[in-house]
Structure 1
Amino acid sequence: MNALGHALSLTGSMAWSILWALIFGFALSAVIQAVVRRSAIVRALGDHRPRTLAVATGFGMASSSCSYASVALARSLFRRGADFTAAMAFEIASTNLVIELGVILALLMGWQFTLAEFMAGPIIIVIVALLFRVVLRQKVLDAAAEQADKALAGSMEGHAAMDMSADGDGSFLSRLFSGKGATAVANVFVMEWAAIWKDLIGGLLIAGAIGAWVPDSFWQGLFLEDSGLLSAIWGPIIGPIVGVFSFVCSVGNVPLAVVLWTGGISFGGVMAFIFADLLILPILNIYRKYYGMAMTVRITLVFYVAMVATGYLIEIVFSVLDLVPDASSAHLPDEGISWNYTTWLNIVALVLAGALVTRFVRQGGTSMLSMMGGSPSDSDSGTAD
C-alpha cells in the first residue's frame, strides 16, 4: 500500500504541476481553431512544396495536441484534398510543436528541452518529406486515399469530421468575441479535453508507477549510461522503441520522458522518445485502418528513421553548443500541494476552464460528445465551411 500510495502521490503532483499549462494551451488552441475554417486549411495544403509544408506546420502548431485527434484530423484533411505529405507535416506539428508541450517541457525538464523540441520538429518534418519523395508511389497514395474514404467508426472520427469554426466574416477579434465565436471556442476546448484525458491520465499513472517502482539501475543498464559515445549512439535508436510500447501519447509522455532522462538516456534519445507518440501501437493500428498496410509500413519506417536521425542531429548540435543540461535539472514534482505560483495559476486556469465548460453545456454541446462516442460517417455534411 505504501508503494501504491507513493506512485499515486507522484502522479497527482505531476498532474497539479502541469494543469495550468494544459488549460491555457488548449484554450489558446481553441481560440485559433475557432476562427480558422478547415476548408481554408485544405486549400492551402494542396501540394508538398517547401512553402506548403511550412504552412502545414504553422497550422499544426495552432491545432490539437492530442496524438489521436491529430491523426484523425490529418486523415480528414487528406480526404478533402490536402497533399498526403502536407497532412503528415500538419500531424507532426499538431502533436509535437504546440505551446502547452513546450511549457510542460520547460517546467519539468528545463528550457533546453523546449528549445530542442521546437528545433527538432521542423527537422523531422523536412526528413519525413524527403523520405516520402523516395518511398511513396502514386499506386500507394491511390490505395491510401481509397482506404481513407471508407467509413470508420471511432471517437476521433467525430472530432475530425466537425469544423467547429465560427461562421461569418469580419476581423479575427470580431469573430472571436461574437456569440458564435465564444461557443466555437468552448466547443473546441471541451472536445480537445475529451480527446486527450484518458491518454493524459494514463501517461501520468505510468510515469508515477515507473518513477516510484523502477530502480535507476534498470534504466542505466538499458540506456548504457556509462558507455560514453556508445550511449549517445544507442539513445536515439532505443528511445522511439520505448515510446512505441509505452502506449502514452502527446503531452502525456513528458512525465515519462523525465523518468527516462534521469534514468540515463541520452539527450538525443529522450527527444526521439518524445516524438514517438505518433508511433505507439494503438496509433499504428489506426494508420492501418485509415490508409492500409502498405502505407502504414511506409509511415512507420519513415517516421522512425526521421526520429532517430533528428535525435543524432540534436545531440550533436546541443553538445557542440554546450547546451545539454545535467540530468539533475529534470525532476518529478515534489509530492503534495503548496501555496506557490503553480497553485495560483491553476486556480485562474480552472476558473477559465469552468467558464468554457459552462458555455459548452448551455449551448447544447453534449450532443457533440455523444457524436464522438458514436459511429459517425465522417461525411462533409456536418461541417460549417
Structure 2
Amino acid sequence: MTILTTITNGLSTAFFMLWGTLWALIFGFTLSGAVQAFVSRGQMQKFLGDHRPKTVARAGLFGIISSSCSYAAAALAKSLFQKGADFVTAMVFMLAATNLVVELGLVLWTLIGWQFALAEFVGGVIMIILFTLLAPRVFPTRQLAAAREALAQNAESERPDDVPGASTTQPSVWQRMRSRSGWADAAGYALSDLKMLRRELVIGYLVAGVLAVAVPASIWHVAFFSGHGFWSDLENVLIGPFIAFISFVCSIGNVPLAAALYANGLSFGGTIAFTFADLIALPLVLIYIKLYGRRIAWKLFALFWG
C-alpha cells in the first residue's frame, strides 16, 4: 500500500506540475511553430545572426517576453538557431526564457523570499554575460554549421508528413500570417516539435513527480556538507545542480523543491544554483543530444553547469 500510495501521489504531483506549466508549454511550442512558418532565414540572421552585445540584449528581451518553461524554451531556441540565429544568441534566449521571467521571480518571492527572487534576476544577467564571453571559445564554427545543417535536413524530411499543405512560395511575413495555410504550417511545425520531444517531456514530468513524493527532504539534508564555511558553499553550489540533474525538474516546477532543500540545509548559493540548473536536467540534456549532437550537447551541459 505504501508503494501504491507513493506512485499515486507521484503521478498526481507530476500532473499538477504539468498543469502548472502547460500554458508555457503551449505558448512556447506555438511560438516555435510560428518562427519556423513565418520567419525567413534572412530575417532571423538580421535580428539574431550574431552575438554582439546589442543582439544578445535583444535575445534576452525576447526570452523574457516568451516566458517559456525549459522544454518549450529548448524547442524555440532550436527553431531560432535552425532559422539562422547565432547559436550563442539562441542559447541566451533560452537562458532568459527560463531564468529571467517575472512569474518565476514571483513564485520564488512567495515561497522562499525576496532575496532569492533578486538573486535569480541578478544571477541570470551574470550567467548570460559569462556564457556570451565563453561560448564562442567552446563551440567550433564547423560543429555548429554541421548541427544547423542537420536540423535543416531533418525539418525538410519531416515537412511533407507533419506539415500538410506547407507552402513553397511565401511572399511576405504579413501575407503568410494572414493566410490560413500559413497558420496550418505553424501548427504543423509546433506539433512536429512536440512529437520529437514528447518522450523526454513525459519522462521528465513523471520522474520529477515521483521523486518529489518518494524522497523525503531529510534524505537531501544528508548530502549537504554544512558548517565548513567556504568549502560548504562550494560543495553546495556543485551539488545543487546535480540534484536538479537527477530530479528532472523544469523551470518554475523546481521552486517548491528548492524551498524544501533550503529549509533542510542547502545554502543560499546552492539553492540558487539548483534553480538555475533547470536547463541541465537529464531530459533537457537528452533533448540537446537529439537536436545538436553529442559533442555540442555535453559542452553545453558543462558550460551551463559552470
Name the TM-score, length of structure 1 as normaliser.
0.59
AA aligned to 2:211 is I
Whole-angstrom CA distance in 2 between matches of 1:10 and 1:291: 32
Structure 1 range deviating more: 243-252 or 47-56: 243-252
Kindly indicate whether residue 252 of structure 2 is the aligned counterpart of residue 229 of structure 1: no
Given candidates 71, 76, 79, the residue that maps to 1:76 is 79
Whole-angstrom CA distance in 2 between matches of 1:17 and 1:286: 19
Q: By how many angstroms is 1:88 displaced?
A: 0.5
Q: CA RMSD in A?
A: 4.0
AA aligned to 1:300 is F
Matches within 5 A, 1:266-277: 266-277=267-278
Given candidates 20, 26, 50, the residue that maps to 1:47 is 50
Q: By how many angstroms is 1:30 displaced?
A: 10
3-state SS of paired residue (1:242)? helix
Structure 1 range deviating more: 94-103 or 10-19: 10-19
AA aligned to 1:71 is A
Classify 1:193/1:206 alpha carbon distance in 2 versus 1 (closer, same or farther; 3 Å): farther
Post-superposition CA distance 1:338-366 (Å, at most 9, x none) = xxxxxxxxxxxxxxxxxxxxxxxxxxxxx
The corresponding residue for 1:383 is: none
Name the TM-score, length of structure 2 as normaliser.
0.72
Whole-angstrom CA distance in 1 between matches of 2:9 and 2:110: 18
Q: By how many angstroms is 1:93 displaced?
A: 1.2
Kindly indicate whether residue 142 of structure 2 is the aligned counterpart of residue 139 of structure 1: yes
The corresponding residue for 1:129 is: 132
Kindly indicate whether residue 263 of structure 2 is the aligned counterpart of residue 262 of structure 1: yes
AA aligned to 2:300 is I
Structure 1 range deviating more: 238-247 or 33-42: 33-42
Q: By how many angstroms is 1:77 displaced?
A: 0.8
3-state SS of paired residue (1:133)? helix
Flag the structure with higher helix content.
2
AA aligned to 1:276 is A
Q: By how many angstroms is 1:297 displaced?
A: 2.6
Classify 1:215/1:7 alpha carbon distance in 2 versus 1 (closer, same or farther; 3 Å): farther
Given candidates 206, 210, 214, the residue that maps to 1:209 is 214
Matches within 5 A, 1:270-285: 270-285=271-286
Classify 1:138/1:28 alpha carbon distance in 2 versus 1 (closer, same or farther; 3 Å): closer
Q: By how many angstroms is 1:262 displaced?
A: 1.4
Classify 1:285/1:203 alpha carbon distance in 2 versus 1 (closer, same or farther; 3 Å): closer
The corresponding residue for 2:303 is: 302
Given candidates 84, 93, 97, the residue that maps to 2:96 is 93
Classify 1:294/1:197 alpha carbon distance in 2 versus 1 (closer, same or farther; 3 Å): closer
Q: Does structure 1 retain, via aligned residues, the 8 Å contact 2:10–2:206?
A: no
Q: Does structure 1 retain, via aligned residues, the 8 Å contact 2:39–2:83?
A: no
Q: By how many angstroms is 1:10 displaced?
A: 9.8
Q: By how many angstroms is 1:42 displaced?
A: 5.5
Whole-angstrom CA distance in 1 between matches of 2:95 and 2:102: 14
For structure 1, the residue ranges without an aligned partner over 5 or more in a row are 170-174, 306-385
Whole-angstrom CA distance in 2 between matches of 1:22 and 1:295: 27
Larger relative contact order (Cα-Cα within 8 Å, sequence gap ≥ 6)? 1
Classify 1:131/1:197 alpha carbon distance in 2 versus 1 (closer, same or farther; 3 Å): closer
Q: Does structure 2 retain, via aligned residues, the 8 Å contact 1:204–1:255?
A: no
Q: Does structure 1 retain, via aligned residues, the 8 Å contact 2:109–2:116?
A: yes
Q: By how many angstroms is 1:299 displaced?
A: 1.0
Q: By how many angstroms is 1:100 displaced?
A: 2.4
Q: By how many angstroms is 1:252 displaced?
A: 1.7
Whole-angstrom CA distance in 2 between matches of 1:99 and 1:113: 13
Q: Does structure 2 retain, via aligned residues, the 8 Å contact 1:79–1:145?
A: yes
Q: Does structure 2 retain, via aligned residues, the 8 Å contact 1:206–1:256?
A: no
Whole-angstrom CA distance in 1 between matches of 2:46 and 2:263: 44
Post-superposition CA distance 1:284-326 (Å, at most 9, x none) = 2221222122212321221111xxxxxxxxxxxxxxxxxxxxx
Q: Does structure 2 retain, via aligned residues, the 8 Å contact 1:207–1:255?
A: no
Structure 1 range deviating more: 135-144 or 6-15: 6-15
For structure 2, the residue ranges without an aligned partner over 5 or more in a row are 167-172
AA aligned to 1:220 is H
> How many percent identity over aligned positions?
38
The corresponding residue for 2:123 is: 120
AA aligned to 2:291 is Y
